[in-house]
Amino acid sequence: MALARVRETFNDGVLTYGAYKTIRTESRKVTGKQFVEQGRLFYREMSVRESDYLQFGAMGSTLDLKVKTPMPPALRKIDKDKLIVRIDGDDFNIITVDRDANYLYFYLHKVDGGDKNE
């Protein structure tokens, strides 16, 4: 008897991913940055293991959030470490991304408030 595959739910929210674009005046002076969305994913928040905290602490990073998303075809070839993730108005740097055949696991560090221009 074969076990049926359980369908996962990603109902903790929707994250947007993208990059910052530098905003400049006509004289090329930098006046801020703007988040440019490249896509959206439903996610499920994952519990962070003690080994995750130790691993990223040793790398000099602080792990604030771990989320799991379906693997979208558009993200297969993009350098995910250069993206910014936005969840509920908060921006996160991606420390690293683990993947398997169907899912991405984002390890995120919250970006300090700073000057966010929309």
Which DSSP string corresponds to the chain? -PPPPPPP---SEEEEEEEEEEEE-TT--EEEEEEEEEEEEEEEE-PPPHHHHHHHHHTT----EEEEEE--GGGSSS-GGG-EEEETTEEEEEEEEEE-SSEEEEEEEEPP----B-
Tens digit of each residue's pLDDT, the chain (118 residues): 555 566 788 999 999 999 999 999 999 999 999 999 999 999 999 998 888 888 888 878 889 999 999 988 877 777 777 889 999 999 999 998 888 888 999 999 998 754 444 4
Spell out the domains of the chain, with CATH numbers in brackets.
13-110 (2.40.10.270)
pTM over 0.85: no
Q: Please give the pLDDT value at position 5.
A: 61
